[in-house]
């Protein structure tokens, strides 16, 4: 397994477990049956941190759609360099930071963490075209 694929797997695992804390909060706030019910306009609101985590999870899924194909394209062309490995590691850690910072409600740092992950994506795109 390449280093890039390793970081992809880590990112998939992270993205795949982000629903757990906000779902537990939903159960705590609305009860088991309320958590399993269809959303309604009058539902009791979740904790603010859980709603922010929900949005961070949604953002992680949206960005995984960009990251995963880039890593798989690089892997299919057998492109693995210190730069691509560092970009993938940076992407993972920036996404983890984004989730934590977003859940904590720190606005500017949240955007900076997302920006770092986006720059990592740009590096991967450049690598696909042989520019780095």
Architecture of domain 3-38+46-128: Up-down Bundle (1.20)
Angle between the 48-76 and 82-104 helix axes, to the nearest 10 degrees?
Answer: 170
Return the residue matching tokens 């963490």.
113
Domain boundaries, the chain: 3-38+46-128
At residue 33, the pLDDT reads: 95
What pLDDT is stored for residue 45 in this prediction?
Answer: 95
Which pLDDT belongs to residue 103? 98
The whole-number pLDDT of residue 113 equals: 98
- State residue 38's pLDDT score: 94
Per-residue pLDDT of the chain (132 residues; tens, 9 = 90+): 999 999 999 999 999 999 999 999 999 999 999 999 998 999 999 999 999 999 999 999 999 999 999 999 999 999 999 999 999 999 999 999 999 999 999 999 999 999 999 999 999 999 999 999
User: Which of 122, 65, 58 has the alpha carbon at shortest distance from 90?
Assistant: 122
Strands in the chain per DSSP E: none
- Three-state DSSP at 4 gives helix
Give the model's pLDDT for residue 65.
Answer: 98
Contact 91, 117 (CB under 8 A): yes
pLDDT of residue 43: 93
pLDDT of residue 55: 97
């Amino acid at each position: 397994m390449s280093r890039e694929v390793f970081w992809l797997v880590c990112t998939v695992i992270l993205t795949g477990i982000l629903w757990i804390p906000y779902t537990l909060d939903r159960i705590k706030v609305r009860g088991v049956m309320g958590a399993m019910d269809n959303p309604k306009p009058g539902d009791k609101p979740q904790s603010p941190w859980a709603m922010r985590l929900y949005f961070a999870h949604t953002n992680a899924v949206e960005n995984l759609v960009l990251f995963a194909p880039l890593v798989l394209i690089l892997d299919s062309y057998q492109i693995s360099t210190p730069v691509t490995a560092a970009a993938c590691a940076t992407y993972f850690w920036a996404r983890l930071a984004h989730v934590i910072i977003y859940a904590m409600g720190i606005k500017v740092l949240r955007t900076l963490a997302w920006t770092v992950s986006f720059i990592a994506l740009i590096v991967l795109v450049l690598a696909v075209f042989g520019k780095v």
